[in-house]
Amino acid sequence: MGEDYPSETFRVLKNKERIPGTNQYRTQQLVLREFDRMALAEANSEPYVSLLNPPPGERAQASYSAHGIVKDEIDAHLAGLLLTIIRLSGRLPRRDLTQAVTMASQPALLLSFADAQCAGLIDTFHQRHPGIFDAERRTGDRIHNWLRHFESTGLIRMESQTDELVATPGASMPSYALTDGETARVATALTLAVAQASMRVATDEKQATDASVKRA
């Protein structure tokens, strides 16, 4: 219709993709190629198979970690929770992070160090993300590998001498670590529960030491 036609479809795209010396452009060639493939499939009485991935009408599978460390959506929520706990603390022993996840997986243990409201909050979070605290997500080197990955991408620093995890100030939450409105509240509840457990252990150890001194 000419360059001055007001409603030519995809004119900007065509101008950007135009093949020098021709009136062809990349998207046009891809579309025409697919029409040819459709016609060939029909002529051979074969089903047409799209080259698109995912196929038309299907949702793409979410990709959480380029290295496959965070493998699915539940893993992504757990990774988000771990990073949130580290950020809330700023610095914490690695054993405290492990203990937090262990407590979340054992309601009876959690109730020993958290009130009913906090325990209910964590239980609701678990129900919203089924299996997030299951043993297979915590066993072996999985969490350790995550922490190493967090460190390699600048999210945290792991201090080997003190075995502490240190949050990197200003680091953005990665796309493969999912958080929602409840994540920070659950992280706070677990952090407080771990602190309460540590205080109780310290108190019990002191009482045991005092008793030993008295007997001596």
pLDDT digits (tens, 9 = 90+) for 100-109: 999 999 988 8
Pick from 8-12, 44-48, 174-178: least confident:
8-12
Same-domain check for residues 41 and 93: no
| Res 79 pLDDT > 90 | yes
Same-domain check for residues 25 and 107: no
Encode pLDDT of 186-200 as tens digits: 999 999 999 998 888
Is 140 part of a structural domain of the chain? yes
Same-domain check for residues 176 and 112: yes
**Cα–Cα distance between 199 and 153 in angstroms, integer?**
33
Same-domain check for residues 111 and 204: yes
Domain that holds residue 37: 1-61
Give the mean pLDDT of 74-80.
93
Is 130 part of a structural domain of the chain? yes
Positive or negative, the CA dihedral 180, 170, 89, 176 is positive
Same-domain check for residues 57 and 78: no
Same-domain check for residues 99 and 28: no
Instruction: Determine what percent of the chain is predicted with pLDDT higher than 90.
Output: 44
Q: How high does pLDDT run on average in the chain?
A: 84
Same-domain check for residues 105 and 157: yes
Among 32, 61, 90, which residue terminates a domain? Answer: 61
For the ranges 4-18, 66-80, 110-124, 135-149, the maximum mean pLDDT occurs at 110-124
Under 8 Å between Cβ of 190 and 83: no
* Burial group, residue 9, by CB count within 10 angstroms (0-12, 13-18, 19+): exposed
Give the mean pLDDT of 166-173.
93
Tally the domains of the chain: 2
> pLDDT category, 139, cuts 50, 70, 90?
confident
> pLDDT category, 30, cuts 50, 70, 90?
confident
| Res 174 pLDDT > 60 | yes
Is 67 part of a structural domain of the chain? no
What are φ and ψ of residue 41, in 5° steps? -65, -40
Same-domain check for residues 126 and 150: yes
Same-domain check for residues 166 and 190: yes
Among 24, 39, 61, which residue terminates a domain? Answer: 61
Same-domain check for residues 31 and 92: no
pLDDT at position 75, please?
92
Same-domain check for residues 42 and 131: no
